[in-house]
Structure 1
Amino acid sequence: MNDVLAQLLSGHDPTIYRIPAVELTCSAWETAIRNIPGWDDIVLGHEDGQQHEYLGSPLDLALPASNDSGQQTLGFALGGANADAEDLVDQALDANAIIYLTLRMYASNNLAAPARRPLRMVVDEPTFQPDGTLQVRCRHRDLLFRRFLLGRFTANKYPGVALFV
């Protein structure tokens, strides 16, 4: 797999290109929302060996920066979201359940498994636009709100912390 990734990143072979795949999941849903950019639907393999169909649709995404900041907020736009997707998002909001977005990158010559380790993010603000676009904002590398930090440095325990907030 490293050879495929090396070729993909080096850019020497113009016939191999990256395919981003976006999957939205939630504990309140029985099915997931899966999209890839383009017109054609494609069956892609996941890291666990299972095969899933991804719907071709307009997809706009910003790849995460490779830096060491404590929190990164990313935006994704999935065009052509149907009424089923809107119902699923409403179900998640009504159940107060967390929606996760998983970004998988595939090499065009190997659709059996992702070329990189998938990125799993928490969706903050899913909104539907009048043109049928589902826009989601996600948190990636959210070190500021990790569970191990909660409750450690509070103003009640450490009054000096309030000066830096």
Structure 2
Amino acid sequence: MTILERLFASSGTEVIIPTLEITCDAWSEPILLCNGYEDQTCITEDARTLTFVASGIQVALPKRDTSGTQSLRFAIDNVTGQAQSLIDQALEAEEIIRMTFRHYVSSDLSAPAENPLKFVIRDGAMEGSVLQINATFFDMINVAWPRNFYTPEFAPGLKYL
């Protein structure tokens, strides 16, 4: 039984802390948020030490159907408007926005309690002081086919055609 399964089954003094790391090539630094009232300094799976800013985060799981999309809807309290302005900046630069969702346990912030989930943000909208984000697990639409590009560097014989 994992620590998260134990916490879901019977609570105690430990608390599950969900965190979001939102990154984009157009930004100088990522947006780091955690659910709760206190900022959390955590160590990621690749040994980076990050300080997540306290915020209100809600996650709506996808409906179970045969549509083939696996999108989650995140609601983030965004009183200052910083996240909305950064997402608008990334959309104008036509850059991909990536998001990593991690769970930590309050007694052990040295590593995520389970493997992180990685998303690609599809769109975002501001509703009042809340930022609504739609994110997908796998970006099927932007996958190139065929996956290997046949260039002279990959296949040297092409330069003679």
What TM bracket, shorter-length normalisation?
0.7 to 0.9
- Structure 1 position 141, deviation (Å): 3.9
1: distance between equivalents of 2:15 and 2:116? 17
Q: What is aligned with 2:13? A: 15
Q: What is aligned with 2:3? A: 4
Secondary structure of the 1:147 match is coil
2: distance between equivalents of 1:17 and 1:68? 34
Change beyond 3 A, Cα 1:6–1:83: closer
Greater per-residue helix proportion: 1
Q: What is aligned with 1:60? A: 58
Change beyond 3 A, Cα 1:87–1:146: closer
Moved more, 74-83 or 103-112: 74-83
- Pairing partner for 1:93 from 85, 91, 94: 91
- Structure 1 position 71, deviation (Å): 2.3
The amino acid across from 1:116 in the alignment is: E
Superposition CA RMSD, Å = 2.7
Q: Determine if contact 1:101/1:121 at 8 Å carries over to the other structure.
A: yes
TM, length-normalised to structure 2: 0.77
Q: Determine if contact 1:107/1:115 at 8 Å carries over to the other structure.
A: yes
- Pairing partner for 1:109 from 107, 110, 126: 107
Q: What is aligned with 1:156? A: none
2: distance between equivalents of 1:120 and 1:57? 20
Q: Any residues of structure 2 matched to 1:1-165 within 5 Å, and which?
A: 4-9=3-8, 11-63=9-61, 70-129=68-127, 131-142=128-139, 144-145=140-141, 147=143, 150=145
Secondary structure of the 1:120 match is strand
- Structure 1 position 35, deviation (Å): 1.2
Change beyond 3 A, Cα 1:96–1:14: same
2: distance between equivalents of 1:105 and 1:69? 27
Uncovered stretches (5+) of structure 2, i.e. residues with no partner: 148-161
- Structure 1 position 106, deviation (Å): 0.9
Q: Determine if contact 1:70/1:141 at 8 Å carries over to the other structure.
A: no
TM, length-normalised to structure 1: 0.75
Q: Deviations over 1:12-66 (max 9, x none)?
A: 4522232111111111111111111222111111111111111111211125689
Secondary structure of the 2:113 match is coil
Q: Determine if contact 1:41/1:54 at 8 Å carries over to the other structure.
A: yes
Secondary structure of the 1:53 match is strand
2: distance between equivalents of 1:101 and 1:89? 12
Q: Deviations over 1:50-90 (max 9, x none)?
A: 11111111211125689997421110010034233232112
| Aligned sequence identity (%) | 33
Uncovered stretches (5+) of structure 1, i.e. residues with no partner: 153-165
Q: Determine if contact 1:27/1:98 at 8 Å carries over to the other structure.
A: yes
- Structure 1 position 5, deviation (Å): 4.1
